[in-house]
Structures are given as structure tokens and as C-alpha cells.
Amino acid sequence: MRARRTPSHTLFAAPIVLIAALTALPAAAQREIRFEAAEAPASGTLVLAVPEVADGGAREGAFARIDAGSQGALTRAITAAGFSGKADSQLDLPGIAGFDRVLLVGTGSGTPDARRIEDFGGLIGRFAARSKAPQVDVLWEGAEAGAAAQLAFGAALGEYRFDRYRTTGTSEDAAGTGTLVVRSPAGTGAASAWDGDWKAVAEGVKFARDLVTEPANALGPEEFVARTREAFAGKANVSIEVLDVPAMERLGMGSLLAVGQGSVRPPRLMVVRYSGGARGEAPVAFVGKGITFDSGGISIKPSENMWRMKYDMTGAASATGALLALAGRNAKVNAVAVAALAENMPSGSATRPGDVIRTAAGKTYEVISTDAEGRMVLVDALWYVQRQDAPRVIVDIATLTGAIVTALGNDYAGLFTRDDTLAAQLERAGNAAGEPVWRMPMHPGYGKLLESPIADMRNGGGRPGSGTAAHFIGEFVDAGRPWAHLDIAGMAWRDGNELSTTPAGASAYGVRLFDRFVRDNYER
């Protein structure tokens, strides 16, 4: 049955006033990134890449020159600290060799590959975010312009922070502002590789992280749309379509509407289209779960850690951020991002366990849990993008189940697909981008666990919870269309387990994965 339209009442005005007050606060600052020749400055704050050398081995390059100019100060420091240049090791040396501070970062043995360079850059970015120095100089002796740009990409990811709601006047205000100068043999030539390629991906990641980190009182479905319009303003070959409640009602999107009907903040379906490929060529589609806050609805969650459920729109943020990256670097591909946006709240108008919902595809399901809302919004979004855009491949992305966290922890996203070729493509892209996936089974028997005595199926039930959820979503994908589902519940938010390029908090997992997936398989 079709969901009821969200009622209007006096409470609706309250969050809007608060949103206006919050969004007037300043956003987080990040350092401007520039590129210069490889000569080391004579003073200031310097980050030096140090290859691994065995005990007693001679060091060369910039390290040797700075060491000689300081009568062996660097050698004495690393000897005392036992620093050898092992990958990701760091030695912070204040007031040495004429510099205010020198940070030595190990790059390990052998020639660093792109992933190691990116991680090296991430460590630099995290250091730069903490430093109050107006300029941080990074000395990188690799000759390739692409490597210097890759380093800058890692630094841009690693320096991310979100300070919008911190009050001014603290001792931390000066930290992380100013300039980060990457000095390499490529000189200013590295700027073209950065500006034309990696900078756009970094901006896509930052955009998604900002959305995910925003508190739910500042970011509902309508604000998500507004922020997207702002981010894409001026981007070529981009169009944005937004379906409001009446439009979704006319299309019979009872499933997405059912999730949002308990909230005073109405749901939205947003479709961002980027046309950078050949005219008429079918697009690649990314469909994201966009629950701007998930209380669980009538099937309410425990209060512990419920605050984190503002992150339940990571899938939509990352899908949209990936499109921002593609548009920003003028990728030669047609692509679509769909954000299924709703707030899942308990109220007198909320969907109940036991209700039967009719989807836009015409199929019905019995609600076993209103906390299984992610799959509910995704199925109407999947129906719409197939109907309107006939994509050549669909990947949906969602913070969907706690079961996938139990299975894979914070190390992998769960990948569900029946398409071996697509699975291999996503696995390769994930490894290359530093956002790995682990393929999970889609057993034919999962469908039996979702049988309902009164509807076509149930929206949950049975174990494994992540597998049955994937099966439910897959029931709404056209036969023969390549499709994969990514369950990123364990990867969207990092607490106490930061990575070099992912500080604590929102990860924007999926932006880099999707960008690499498109680069490797679909750009012409």
C-alpha cells in the first residue's frame, strides 16, 4: 500500500531556524597546496622523505646535504632514536639543522608505489593539520610529476578536519592553516597533474566527509540537496533532478515514502547526472542510501552510540562525492549518482512493523523491522534509475547492516554480486584506491528466509542479516543487468583506528573506490 504523505504541523518550523544558525558558522580550514622545485628551504618547517637504510648504510640526497650542513645533526638524531626509514615511521625533530622543525617520514625500501606515496602524503597531511607553521615544505626527490601530485592527494586527505562548530578564540585556531608546498624535481609541472586530476577527487572526498560529519539537526534531506547544488554549481555537463513527496507519490514510491513518513522533514530522491562520455552511451550508476538520521523508527535502536546514526547517509554522500570527482576532473564517461534521502523517526505517523508496503516496481513486502530502512529506500531508487537511465552497470552503497561489521570489522566493505567480472573489477579498484572490499556469498536459499504469508516478501529476517539484505535489494534489479551491493557499515566511520589518509570520523568510503572503478573500466 502507498505510504501516507508526511503531515505538516508546528514542529516543522523549529529545526529550520536552528539549521540557519548553525550553517552561519565558519567551515574547516585546510592548507593551500602548491608545487615548487626540489631545493630545500634554509629554515622553517620541513618534511623530509627518508628511504629505509640498513644499519651503517650511507644516506644520500637531501638528507645527506642537510646533515652535512648541520655537522651531522640529523645522523645523530636518527641514531639516538633508532630511526631507519621504515615505511610509515616518523621522527619529529624540533629546532634542528637551522629549522624550526624537521619531520622525517620513512618511505621504506625499494621504489614506493602509488599507494605508498599516497599514504606518505597522508602522514604529512596529518602533521600539517596539527602544525601552526604558516608554511610546511615537503621535500620529495622522485622525478615523476604524477608522484608529486599523488603525494599531494594523500596530504589533502590526511589533513582533513571538521571545525565548523568549534567556537573561535581557542589555542588551536592557527593550526592547519597556511600553505603546504610540495618540492620535487617536477617543480611547478606537478601542478597540472594535481589540478587536472587528483585535486577533484580530494574535493569529492572532502564534500562527502563534510556531509557525513554534519549533525542531523543541520542536515536533513532538503539540506543535503541544497549542499549538492552548491557543490556542483558551475560544473560542466551536470544536471540535478530532485523528486519531492508529491512527485514520489505520483510514481508510487511507497517504499521510500514509508521510511520518511514518521519525520517532519520530508524525504527526497535526488539524481545527479554527469555527461562526460559519448552521447547516448549508457551511464555507470551509483545508488546511495541517504538516511540523514536513523533512530530505527518504531523498531527503535538502543540509545548507546545512536548519535553516530547521522552517518547513515554515507552511501548517498559517497555516491554524490564520486560524481563530483568525475565532473571535477572532466572524466570521459557518463555517470549517475542517486541519493535516496529520508530521516527515519518514530512518531504517530511512522510506519509500523507488520505494515505492508507497495514499491514503485509494484512488488509488496511486509515490514518486519522499521530499522531495516536502508533497503527500503534503495529499492525505489534502483527502480527509478533503471527506468530513467538504463545504466550499463549499477553499484549501490549503504551503511546497511551490523552483521557485516561482525563479519569483516573495519577492514573491508562487504561486496555482494552474482557477476564475477564486476566483482573482480571492484576488488581491483578497491585495492588500488585503498578502499578494499571482500566478496560475500549470495546463496539462493536466502530468498526462503524472506518469504511472507501476506506479501511478496518480508524486509528482513533470518541469518545472515547482510546476505538476506543483499538478496532483498537484488530482487529489484532487472535480470541481466550488472549489479553489485556494497555494505559499508564497518567502513564509514573510524574511531580510534585512523588510517594515514583517513583521520578519525567520516571516511567518505566509496569516493576513491568509485573513481578508480570508473578510471579502470569505463573511461574512453
Using the 3D structure, point to which of 136, 165, 198 is the last residue of a domain: 198
Q: Tell me the C-alpha distance between 65 and 76, whole Å.
A: 14
Query: Do both 294 and 164 map to the same domain?
Result: no
Active site residue ranges: 301, 375
3 state SS for 357-377: EECCCCCEEECCCCCCHHHHH
- Of the residues 172, 198, 224, which one is the last residue of a structural domain? 198
Q: Do 162 and 305 lie in a common domain?
A: no
Q: What is the pLDDT of residue 28?
A: 60
Domain with residue 391: its CATH number is 3.40.630.10
Our count of domains for the chain comes to 2
Range of the domain at 37: 32-198
User: Do 294 and 323 reside in the same domain of the chain?
Assistant: yes
- The reported pLDDT for the residue numbered 58 is 79
Helix axes 199-213, 145-158, angle to 10 degrees: 10
Residues in the chain where the model's pLDDT stays below 50: 1-18, 20-21, 24-26, 171
d(CA 485, CA 421): 14
Residues 186, 89, single domain; the answer is yes
Calculate the CA 121 to chain-centre distance. Answer: 18
Please give the grid coordinates belonging to residue 102: 624537521
Q: Does residue 206 have a known ligand-binding role?
A: no
Q: Are 395 and 507 contained in the same domain?
A: yes
User: What cell does 326 get?
Assistant: 568525475
Strand-strand pairing, 45-51 and 437-439: unpaired
Q: 3-class SS at 167? A: coil
Cα torsion for 32, 37, 39, 40, to the nearest 10°?
10
Nearest to 266, CA basis, from 224, 326, 318: 224
Residues 295 and 359 in one domain: yes
Residue 224 near residue 269, CB atoms below 8 Å: no
Q: In this structure, which amino acid lies at residue 423?
A: A
CATH number at residue 53: 3.40.220.10
Distance between CA atoms of residues 45 and 485, nearest Å: 45
Q: In the prediction, which pLDDT does 70 show?
A: 94
Give Cα 408 to chain centroid, integer Å: 18
Cell 564534500 sits at which residue? 207
Say how many Å lie between the first and final Cα of the chain, rounded. Answer: 44
Burial letters 363-373, b for 16+ CB under 10 A, else e: bbbbbbebbbb
Q: Do 124 and 67 belong together in one domain?
A: yes
Please check if 456 is assigned to a binding site: no
Residue 370 sits in the same domain as residue 466: yes
pLDDT at 22: 54
Is 199 annotated to bind ligand? no
Task: Say whether both 189 and 274 belong to one domain.
Answer: no
174 and 89 in a common domain: yes
Residues in CB range of 170: below 8 A, 6 or more apart: none
Q: For residues 313 and 429, what is the distance between their CA atoms, to the nearest angstrom?
A: 22
Of 307, 318, 309, 112, nearest in space to 211 by CA: 318
